[in-house]
Structure 1
Amino acid sequence: MLAGACSAMPLVYAAEDLTLPAMQIEGSNEYVDAPSVGYKGNPASSTTRLGLTDKQTPQAVTTITRQALDDFKITGIKDALRSAPSVTVEQTETDRTEFTSRGFDINTFQYDGVGMPFVGTVLVGDQDLAEFEQIDILHGANGLMSGAGNPSATVNFVRKRPTETFQAQVDTRVSSWDGRRVDVDVSGPLTSTANVRGRFIYSHDKGNSWMDRYSHERNVAAGLLAFDLSDADTVTVGFSQHNSDSNGSTWGNLPLVDNDGKPIHYGSRSSSIGQPWSYWNLHTQRAFAELKHEFGNGWNATLTATGINEKQDTNMMYVAGVSGDEASVFAAHTTSEAHQLLGDAKVSGPFSLFGREHELTLGAAYGRTHQKAREYDAVEGGYYDVSFPDVLAGNLARPSFLFTSDTNTQNFSDTQKSLYAGARFSLADDLHWIVGARMLSLDASGDSYGSDYYTRAHGKVTPYTGLVYDLDKQWSVYGSWTKIYSAQYNLGADGKLLAPLEGKSMEAGVKGSLLDNRLNLTAAAFKTEQQNVAEYAGLVDGRYVYNPMDYKSHGVELQASGEALPGLDLLGGYTYVRIDNDDGDRARKYVPTHSVRGMLTYRLPSLPKAKVGTRVSWQSAVQNDNNSAIRQNAYALLDFMASYDIDSNWSTSVNLNNVTDRKYLLSLYNSATTASYGAPRNVVASVTWKY
């Protein structure tokens, strides 16, 4: 079994909605769960678990709002996180992506605050954003909310909900490489009193690519119903189907050096190792039910249960090495199926102590995954030699995929249980202490491609604490400290599972809310530590083995979001990060030391129906950790947009991406000596109808 095999890599699961009703926290001019306006996001209550606003949270928070997503026609999470300050998108294959922040892997995607970490820090496919109102990124470690994960960032998808008034939107667009997409979103009351509400969301996205032979089709359908059983009780149920089908998919990417370490040059950025018979199909069904109850006096409870079923079917090929015109490849057909059950119960509200009002949250969470997979290889032993020019031309014949064995299977269960508690104490009118902890238990058993998939860890406590001091109504300073614990399923060189990954994060910063709270500013300094990080050490009997490494990182983040001037919306920031190993030498050099991300739009005063904007992404040079000849120089990407409101219902827009036609590599993640080129200049044109 090849270590990069799709069947050995994780599936991505989603847990569903868990939010509190909109409420106001004492001393704040902002409402928790209030709708985001323009580019100034209000983090959802589920993002911090304690229902805090951005200013009240002792960590940096980034919110990518629905307005920003619509302005720049961002439809997938990979493109969205490319716009988020401090996040680096490492697209290592056509259909698998890693993300890093503050030098470490992001391995926690949550959906309205609930979810289990990835089993390997990788996203399969691309999470379509049609179902979501905004994306919140909580920077740094988050032991209280996540329990298991990395001291990097937590990404929380905030789901759209049924509305009390009728609204509808249809968006159609065409783009370069025969791309076309249609989005439909209809929501409103189903009874005269609006005590029953519904929402239907549909999206169809299909197109080719700048990469030879690669194409995709995504179909999303989601339905939600909300029932007000009484003034105090609301039940919400929902179901979604997400189908992602890709052809010409790649396992790994273009080899950048041959077996002798000499660079390989490609004549076109469209070059790809994907074959006409390679594909990656991912179909996911999610169903959830949620009950919210208001006890009165500010106390409320939320109970949610979610079931997910996910199937994958793939034909894939990997180029293991190149010598002259000959390539050693590994090809396999893999099918897998996973079932997941998630549950979360939470109660929160105010309480009085020593003459002051404070906030308390108590909760419990449960998650169980059962995954099965089988792989059929092209040849016995896995590897065989082919012509490398034929690989690039897509001329390889489809193998028969006849060879399998007991070591070419997965069958394991993974269970996580936790109890958590958190409080926001008002020590003084202008000083607040946030403290909490999560007690985590992990149990896993089964096998994965001939190796035991096992862990047992009970009573692991991940604490969280932070202070926020309000200098005045506009400015506050803060500091926080938190830990992370996560079991690992990577094999060490001795054939045993690596020790659990542990880490901690410290952060201090200042936050401001200016221009009548229309503009948020954040400046943060951070220091993170991580032990037992799995670093690729080579192939043993066709499987990846890893060495445990310790790393430290430190850096600075600057961010602004909101309306800087009348009609001028922006979200942008600068990040500096340095990662060092135990010897104090710079490590993980594929993470840029300096990066700038920004989106800006301006509604023209002389032509108020027109809006223009730009998106910029710049990063400093990066290189491969093992071969300094594999290097990506500093580069910037520049996008333009223009939109026009024809009337109150109709609008049209044009987006021009990578306007300078910059040639660049998508990623040099980890020790990989493969990469593909990013998209050249391209255009998106759309027409939107709203009611």
Structure 2
Amino acid sequence: MTFKKHYLAQSISLILLTSVAASASAEDQAAVKLDTLEVNAQDNNPDSYTAPDAATATKMNLSLRETPQAVAVITQAQLDDFNANDLNAALDLTAGVTVERIETDRSYYTARGFDITNFQFDGVGLPTNTGNLYGDIDSAIAERIEVLKGANGLMSGTGNPSATVNIIRKRPTEEFAASASVSAGSWSQKRLEGDISGSLTESGNVRGRLVVAGQDGESYLDRYEKQRSLFYGVLEADISDSTTVTLGHSTQDTHADSPMWGALTLNDTDGNAFDYDVSASTAADWAFWDNKVDSSFVELKQDLPANWQGTAVLNRTKRVSDSKLLYVYGSIAADGSGAVAYPSLYDKTETETSLDIYATGPFQFAGRSHDAIVGIQINRSESEEESVYANPRTSGTNLDDVLNGNVAEVAIDGSTSGGKWDYAGESLYGAGRFSITDQLSVVAGARISQLEIEGESYGKTKNSSFKGEVTPYLGTVFDLTDQHSLYASYTQIFDPQTELDVNGDQLDPVKGSNVEFGIKSEFLPGIIATASVFKSQQDNVAEEVGKHKNPDDSEGDAYYRGIDGVTSQGFEVDIAGELLPGWQVSAGYSKFKVEDADGEEVKKEVAKEMFTASSQYRPGVLPELKVGANVKWQGETENTKVTQKAYTLVNLMAGYDLTKNLNASLAINNLTDEKYLNSLYWDQAFYGAPRNFMAKVNWTY
């Protein structure tokens, strides 16, 4: 799709006009007395479980209290304390977010009943919205991870009313800093990590940072092993007093031996649940799944007149997936007969490019100071995938042979299928934070989007085109006192879908609205608590209603219908910060329900009640010691095959500062050895990890 030239011209003109207007009022701005910047010790505390601000909602770096939506922040301390070395483990620490581990090397994420399809790096959204992740994202690149709850129409334009995950990448520091750690644990798990940062010139105008990580190990799952390596380098240069350029690149390689494609068939032909060991896996010993991700970015920040700043960010990411997998399914009897073994080769290459240009700054109106942002975002992606199947499929396989890895490797040279499609999207967005009174502020804005998808996937067209889609956003915050604020927000929902109906036609986009009300409190500096209620209403939500039959009478692709009047409503309570000297806490409880227009419950496979808490404590009498715990309780879930009862996971950690620069720690995960299914997102599932440990030695300078 060709981007309309006048669209780009209008966008640039809008940014320039805003800058000129700001420049014209420079003298007035100079006369405005700036608010005193308060810096509390919590901001510089390496043990902190909260952050002073978040930019995911508006890019205006509002404080958590000034943001009219619920926001959770996973800090560096939380990542380190609980060995959250990848995105899945990090989001496990977030209240209200469920990591749907459907396979060993593919995951989905849900919040408030719907898939999380909005992901950002440093506030810039990715152009695709499939919501699934192949392999891992190593968290060593992250300074912190922000999770904005609810819809995010202003900064993304599309997506579910679930959440937006924003990974804030590490940046160079002016002062020299370095760290290195070595970890070892259950199932021969090993990890090395290094991080060095500082100025590269005497004046400090050029700074650099290098992060490397590597891990290797076996698994609690039979035959499964994984190796992962990460390189991340970033340079930052002040080319003038008002201009900073940043260049960054990361490469991550993941190699998995004997990964699962699909998972365990849960019931036999009589409907009785199979009694599997926690270690049970359907993967063959010859199976593998390799994933490589190369990501580069260039960022330009330019100071403008009247305290405005312009930013331009260009991101480019290439993902390459290569695999040889075994899928096991069928009508399996209690004695294990009837299983079908289905080998396949799968390759996918995806290239994503995004350009985001925006300007932020203050302006004067009616004798008061306000803030604004205006910008343009251009996204492109190209995807190509191919599957090669074995012919014929191996029917009559015994389940015991599968679980023991006794499925012989065969030539995979049968039928071939796949897809190739392109995505193009452009958006204009703008918003203002208006200070109506000293107590009342209003955030108002809108995003205008157009997008086009061309191509096909596995014989089905993916063609769709939408122009002039307007996504408004309105939020307000009212300060009751210096510590307590009421807030409310509203945004519309527009979410294109790729699901197909029984005739093979693509479903129309989901449309709806999302509202949220709440109260935020700062009982002490560095402690933020939020209580919120929310409701979203959507039309044309995809619901699976059946599966096509393949020529050999096996199950084929699923087909869907669109359901109107789907509502998700509930409440959340969160608190994060230093409750007492040396005691850090991040905790939250969420409960909601999802119903169709007839009041019938839908999305039963998604956990609708959850409690998550992470805590860390340094006793004043022995400050070298640090102890902590993470508890996650999840309510009952079910799919068409099985019910997963509510369960609780308990993780413990303890660390000790051997010297000023050297620390040793030990973590025990799943202390009670709970047996549970990772996810009921699909009909098949596999079990979570049993009790395990990880020891780490960390050096910092």
Structure-1-length-normalised TM-score: 0.92
Q: Does 1:263 align with 2:282?
A: no
CA distance in structure 2 between the partners assigned to 1:36 and 1:264 by the alignment? 49
CA distance in structure 2 between the partners assigned to 1:36 and 1:491 by the alignment? 50
- Is residue 36–residue 42 contact of structure 1 (8 Å, CA) maintained in 2? no
- Is residue 574–residue 597 contact of structure 1 (8 Å, CA) maintained in 2? yes
Instruction: Look up the match of 1:430.
Output: 439
Deviation by residue 1:594-650 (Cα, 9 ceiling, x = unmatched): 2110000110122110011110001122111x34xx111111111110000011110
CA distance in structure 2 between the partners assigned to 1:129 and 1:658 by the alignment? 21
Cα offset for 1:50?
2.7
CA distance in structure 2 between the partners assigned to 1:529 and 1:28 by the alignment? 40
Q: Does 1:275 align with 2:287?
A: no
1:493-504 → structure 2 map (5 Å cutoff): 493-504=502-513
CA distance in structure 1 between the partners assigned to 2:219 and 2:594 by the alignment? 35
Cα offset for 1:489?
1.5
Deviation by residue 1:441-462 (Cα, 9 ceiling, x = unmatched): 1111112111112111011011
Cα offset for 1:263?
1.9
CA distance in structure 1 between the partners assigned to 2:536 and 2:394 by the alignment? 40
Task: Tell me the SS of whatever aligns to 2:124.
Answer: coil
Instruction: Look up the match of 1:6.
Output: none
Task: Tell me the SS of whatever aligns to 2:506.
Answer: coil
- Is residue 72–residue 655 contact of structure 1 (8 Å, CA) maintained in 2? yes
Q: Does 1:73 align with 2:83?
A: yes
Deviation by residue 1:102-144 (Cα, 9 ceiling, x = unmatched): 1111111110111235443212112110101000000000100
Task: Tell me the SS of whatever aligns to 1:343.
Answer: strand
Instruction: Look up the match of 2:202.
Output: 192
Instruction: Look up the match of 1:470.
Output: 479
CA RMSD of aligned residues (A): 1.8
Q: Does 1:545 align with 2:559?
A: yes
Structure 2 residue identity aligned to 1:170: A
Cα offset for 1:319?
2.0
Q: Does 1:535 align with 2:543?
A: yes
Instruction: Look up the match of 2:341.
Output: 329
- Is residue 420–residue 439 contact of structure 1 (8 Å, CA) maintained in 2? yes
CA distance in structure 2 between the partners assigned to 1:274 and 1:26 by the alignment? 61
1:668-687 → structure 2 map (5 Å cutoff): 668-669=680-681, 672-687=682-697
Q: Does 1:506 align with 2:515?
A: yes
1:280-319 → structure 2 map (5 Å cutoff): 280-319=289-328
CA distance in structure 1 between the partners assigned to 2:396 and 2:372 by the alignment? 62
- Is residue 479–residue 506 contact of structure 1 (8 Å, CA) maintained in 2? yes
* CA spacing shift, 1:85–1:67, aligned 2, 3 Å: same
CA distance in structure 2 between the partners assigned to 1:660 and 1:261 by the alignment? 29
Moved more, 112-121 or 230-239: 112-121
Percent identity of paired positions between Structure 1 and Structure 2: 38
Task: Tell me the SS of whatever aligns to 1:144.
Answer: helix
**When the two structures are aligned, how many residues end up with a matched partner?**
657
Deviation by residue 1:316-352 (Cα, 9 ceiling, x = unmatched): 1222223222202322101121222110001011111
1:245-644 → structure 2 map (5 Å cutoff): 245-266=255-276, 268-324=277-333, 325-379=337-391, 384-405=395-416, 408-515=417-524, 517-540=525-548, 541=550, 542-550=556-564, 551-624=566-639, 626-627=640-641, 630-644=642-656
Cα offset for 1:26?
5.7
Deviation by residue 1:212-266 (Cα, 9 ceiling, x = unmatched): 1111111000110001001100000011101111111111111111344332222
Structure 1 residue identity aligned to 2:441: H
Task: Tell me the SS of whatever aligns to 2:402.
Answer: helix
CA distance in structure 2 between the partners assigned to 1:525 and 1:119 by the alignment? 26
* CA spacing shift, 1:26–1:440, aligned 2, 3 Å: farther
CA distance in structure 1 between the partners assigned to 2:60 and 2:410 by the alignment? 54
Cα offset for 1:673?
2.3
Structure 2 residue identity aligned to 1:106: I
Cα offset for 1:34?
6.5
Task: Say which of 140, 155, 159 aligns to 2:150.
Answer: 140
- Is residue 117–residue 148 contact of structure 1 (8 Å, CA) maintained in 2? no
Deviation by residue 1:547-606 (Cα, 9 ceiling, x = unmatched): 222421111100010000000001001111111122102221222232110000110122
Instruction: Look up the match of 2:14.
Output: none
CA distance in structure 1 between the partners assigned to 2:140 and 2:93 by the alignment? 17
* CA spacing shift, 1:104–1:448, aligned 2, 3 Å: same
Q: Structure 1: state its 5+ residue gaps.
A: 1-23
- Is residue 207–residue 235 contact of structure 2 (8 Å, CA) maintained in 1? yes
Q: Structure 2: state its 5+ residue gaps.
A: 1-32, 551-555
Deviation by residue 1:661-690 (Cα, 9 ceiling, x = unmatched): 111111111xx2211111110000000110
CA distance in structure 2 between the partners assigned to 1:361 and 1:514 by the alignment? 30
- Is residue 154–residue 473 contact of structure 2 (8 Å, CA) maintained in 1? yes
Structure 1 residue identity aligned to 2:648: A
Task: Tell me the SS of whatever aligns to 2:436.
Answer: strand
* CA spacing shift, 1:34–1:195, aligned 2, 3 Å: farther
Structure 2 residue identity aligned to 1:543: D
* CA spacing shift, 1:572–1:174, aligned 2, 3 Å: same
Task: Say which of 663, 667, 675 aligns to 2:679.
Answer: 667
Task: Tell me the SS of whatever aligns to 1:617.
Answer: strand
Instruction: Look up the match of 1:654.
Output: 666
Greater share of helix: 2
- Is residue 112–residue 608 contact of structure 2 (8 Å, CA) maintained in 1? no
Moved more, 112-121 or 302-311: 112-121
- Is residue 50–residue 423 contact of structure 1 (8 Å, CA) maintained in 2? no
* CA spacing shift, 1:309–1:452, aligned 2, 3 Å: same
Cα offset for 1:533?
2.0
Q: Does 1:241 align with 2:251?
A: yes
Cα offset for 1:163?
0.6
- Is residue 43–residue 51 contact of structure 2 (8 Å, CA) maintained in 1? no
Instruction: Look up the match of 1:85.
Output: 95
Deviation by residue 1:480-508 (Cα, 9 ceiling, x = unmatched): 11112121112111210011122321100
Instruction: Look up the match of 1:10.
Output: none
CA distance in structure 2 between the partners assigned to 1:646 and 1:549 by the alignment? 59
Structure 2 residue identity aligned to 1:492: D
Structure 1 residue identity aligned to 2:688: G
Moved more, 386-395 or 649-658: 386-395
Structure-2-length-normalised TM-score: 0.91
Task: Tell me the SS of whatever aligns to 1:270.
Answer: coil
Name which one, 1 or 2, has greater alpha-carbon Rg: 2
Deviation by residue 1:517-568 (Cα, 9 ceiling, x = unmatched): 1211100011112222222233224322222224211111000100000000
- Is residue 47–residue 112 contact of structure 1 (8 Å, CA) maintained in 2? no
Cα offset for 1:42?
2.9
Task: Tell me the SS of whatever aligns to 2:52.
Answer: coil
CA distance in structure 2 between the partners assigned to 1:632 and 1:117 by the alignment? 34
Instruction: Look up the match of 2:25.
Output: none
Cα offset for 1:383?
6.8
CA distance in structure 2 between the partners assigned to 1:25 and 1:61 by the alignment? 27
Instruction: Look up the match of 2:10.
Output: none
CA distance in structure 2 between the partners assigned to 1:30 and 1:532 by the alignment? 48
- Is residue 128–residue 381 contact of structure 2 (8 Å, CA) maintained in 1? no
